Amino acid sequence: MDFLKDLHEARMTRNANNVKVLTYTDCVERLYLSLLVLELLRKYPTYDIAAQKYAKRTTAYPGYKYFSSTSTDLYNFIYFVTGNEDDLQKLKDPEAAWEIRQKTSLPTMAVNRYISAIANKQTPQNVDSLFMKLERELKITNSRYKTIRRDLMSFTKIGTKQRQNAVSTLLLAARAKLRSADIIDELETLAADKNLETERVVDNEPTVSVPDISLSGSDLALYRYIVGSKNLHMAKLFVEQAKQGKATNGQMNKAYMPAVQMLDDIITAGPAYIQQLRVLHKRAKRG
């Protein structure tokens, strides 16, 4: 059974069909979560061997320049996040992915040093600085993920309850975003073995793919034609909160309401208008 499993080690990104459901933003989130899981595994002597083996498989192909169905999911996430325009053609929305890609920078050498250290049974250096840099460069704004990172960086100093909260939050995120990934089994086993899963943590993880939405520069300025200039700032906050699966307040909802009203008018007008909207949407994506 281990042999059959190793035939396609990257279970989430094993072929074109698996990858086609992912956006660039999905890959960014899953890359960061995979590194958080790897960091947790290496905290426990019983599971640092699993972390070492996973890191070794990830660094087996140098450079992250080619998609590999026989490497790990983490390797392929790095490949996409650092990919060129042709590489991103494999993703769900290549045009939007390339637009976001040009605004994203991954400290690849630092990430590779971290993974290589784990692969060679060494202690990675400046781990806290690396993860904070990743959050900045990858624009990780999810406060839950940041809390997990802070707790992992001081894991030996925090109490049992705080550890359970951190691992449970990471577990819920992995079940939503890494359900078929090749690293989740070890995380599940660790949580059960060390009694680190608690019902205190509420599951707020959206399971849907996160669209590649750019809300900066000219893209943001064009929003004023839909919601009006006075609603621009709050409409931006509405979209950012919605992307993270967070609740929005009354002011945000009110600011985004013109866009909702426009969509509702089209739906109310009937199937013919809805079809025209779908055609226009396809043209806009191609353009």
On whether both 128 and 252 belong to a single domain, the answer is: no
In whole angstroms, give the CA distance from residue 18 to residue 92. Answer: 10
On whether both 133 and 228 belong to a single domain, the answer is: no
On whether both 138 and 11 belong to a single domain, the answer is: yes
CA dihedral 133, 139, 142, 147 (to 10 degrees): 10
Q: Does residue 203 fall inside a structural domain?
A: no
> What 3-state DSSP class applies to 205?
coil
Neighbours of 151 (CB within 10 A): 19
What are the residues whose beta carbons fall under 8 Å from the beta carbon of 60, sequence distance 6 or more?
A: 71
> What 3-state DSSP class applies to 68?
coil
What are the residues whose beta carbons fall under 8 Å from the beta carbon of 70, sequence distance 6 or more?
A: 7, 8, 9, 10
On whether both 128 and 223 belong to a single domain, the answer is: no
What residue spans of 123-249 are helical by DSSP H? 127-137, 143-153, 160-177, 184-193, 217-222, 224-227, 232-243
Per-residue confidence (pLDDT) for residue 171, from 0 to 100: 94
Q: Does residue 210 fall inside a structural domain?
A: no
Per-residue confidence (pLDDT) for residue 81, from 0 to 100: 96
Q: Whole-model pTM?
A: 0.73
* Residues in the chain, overall count: 287
Domain boundary among 107, 142, 177: 142
Domain boundary among 142, 165, 189: 142
Domain boundary among 118, 142, 166: 142
Q: Which domain holds residue 265?
A: 217-286
In whole angstroms, give the CA distance from residue 33 to residue 38. Answer: 9
Q: Does residue 208 fall inside a structural domain?
A: no
Residue with tokens 């943001």: 220
> What 3-state DSSP class applies to 88?
helix
Q: Does residue 50 fall inside a structural domain?
A: yes
> What 3-state DSSP class applies to 159?
coil
**What letters, b where the CB count within 10 A reaches 16 and e where it falls short, cover 24-37?**
bbbbbbbbbbbbbb
Q: Does residue 183 fall inside a structural domain?
A: no
Token pair, residue 17, equals 């069909």
On whether both 110 and 9 belong to a single domain, the answer is: yes
In whole angstroms, give the CA distance from residue 153 to residue 155. Answer: 6
Neighbours of 213 (CB within 10 A): 15
**pLDDT, block means (10 residues), the chain with 287 residues:** 48 73 92 97 93 94 88 94 93 90 94 96 95 94 93 94 95 90 91 92 71 64 78 79 74 85 86 84 74
Neighbours of 114 (CB within 10 A): 22
On whether both 133 and 35 belong to a single domain, the answer is: yes
Q: Does residue 70 fall inside a structural domain?
A: yes
What are the residues whose beta carbons fall under 8 Å from the beta carbon of 278, sequence distance 6 or more?
A: none
State how many domains the chain has: 2
On whether both 25 and 131 belong to a single domain, the answer is: yes
Per-residue confidence (pLDDT) for residue 213, from 0 to 100: 65
On whether both 113 and 225 belong to a single domain, the answer is: no
On whether both 124 and 252 belong to a single domain, the answer is: no
Q: Does residue 193 fall inside a structural domain?
A: no
On whether both 129 and 222 belong to a single domain, the answer is: no
What are the residues whose beta carbons fall under 8 Å from the beta carbon of 155, sequence distance 6 or more?
A: 40, 43, 163, 166
Q: Does residue 205 fall inside a structural domain?
A: no
On whether both 260 and 133 belong to a single domain, the answer is: no
What single letter denotes the amino acid at residue 34?
S
Closest CA to 254 of 227, 220, 219, 215: 227
